Amino acid sequence: MSPFFYLRNGGTLYLIANMKSIKKNTCPNPDLLEAFFKKRICSENQLQQIKAHLNHCNQCQATINELQRFFLIFEDEASKPVSSTAFRLLKQVVNDQVQITGILLKPVEPLNGHQSLDFYTDIVVSENPVNNNHIKYLECMPVEKDEVFLRIVKSCSTNESTCYVFAHKKRLYRNVTLQLHPSGEKFISDERGEIELGLYDINTLNNQIVTISLGD
């Protein structure tokens, strides 16, 4: 029996210790094992003791594996595409300070697990000044499961652009390399799908090919 089970309360996932399955002899308690897993143990002596214990205790090693599985589940549930959160910030921007562009990327071929993926580009929105209708359209833009949507905000004062990548599959926007043709310039997204494009001319991207190289 697993030493942990899961309890959902609304949108929150809790990890509950099944105390009956945890040995009561020399095994560290669940809180200590969790602190070890999260690298929050300050005492070097205590750290070495737990490491030595895990080398010969299959049950505690299983507990560590269960903790890892839980936190991966939690991270997966907590991470969401940046579409709504990032773009709500636009509503706080004065209209004449930014230009917004929406570029839909459609796969050249159906996605089949290749590490390098090519997409056709189609500029579907390009507006300056910005108004609430444009923002609403960008927020609600229908995107198919294998498509990618680029929402680009350009500062009218500096001419620098920030790109927010939206996709239903996290692997298509988190830690990816975006290669823009025909220039061949490459940009890397962070875990939220945000990319600083600098002074790149967005208008050159219409009816082009964009290559997305997957990260980890």
- Indicate if 90 and 67 belong to the same structural domain: no
Same domain, 88 and 62: no
Tell me the pLDDT tens digit for each residue of 58-72.
888 888 877 776 666
Say if residue 51 is in the same domain as residue 103: no
Closest to 210 (Cα-Cα) out of 163, 156, 141: 163
pLDDT at 160: 85
Do both 71 and 87 map to the same domain?
A: no
- Give the model's confidence band at 9: pLDDT under 50 very low, under 70 low, under 90 confident, else very high: very low
74 and 93 share one domain: no
136 contact partners, CB below 8 Å, separation of at least 6 = none
- Domains contained in the chain, number: 2
Do 72 and 168 sit in the same domain of this protein?
no
Quick: pLDDT tens for 35-58.
887 777 768 888 888 888 989 898
End residue of a domain, out of 62, 78, 94? 78
Residue 121 clears pLDDT 80, i.e. is over it: yes
pLDDT at 187: 92
Question: Could you tell me if 123 and 189 lie in one domain?
Answer: yes
Angle at 195 between CA 194 and CA 198, to 5 degrees: 140
Q: Are 52 and 35 in contact (CB under 8 A)?
A: no
Most confidently predicted of 7-11, 29-33, 124-128: 29-33
Residue 80 has pLDDT above 80, yes or no: no
Work out the mean pLDDT of the chain and round it to a whole number.
Answer: 73
- Same domain for 88 and 182, yes or no, is yes
Say whether pLDDT at 110 is over 70: no
Mark whether 68 and 164 lie in a shared domain: no
**Which residues form the domain of 73?**
4-78
Could you tell me which residue, 216 or 66, shows the higher pLDDT?
66
The domain boundary, picked from 78, 110, 138, lies at 78
131 with 34, same domain? no
Of 52, 78, 104, which closes a domain?
78
At a CB cut-off of 8 Å and minimum separation 6, what does 37 contact? 64, 67, 68, 71
The arithmetic mean of pLDDT across residues 204-213, rounded, is 87
Residue 115 binned pLDDT confidence (cut-offs 50, 70, 90): low
The CA distance from 170 to 193, in Å, is 9
Question: Are residue 74 and residue 161 in the same domain, yes or no?
Answer: no
Give 163-190 pLDDT, tens digit per residue. 888 888 777 888 888 888 777 889 999 8
Are 118 and 162 within one domain?
Answer: yes
Phi/psi at 75 (5° precision): -65, -40
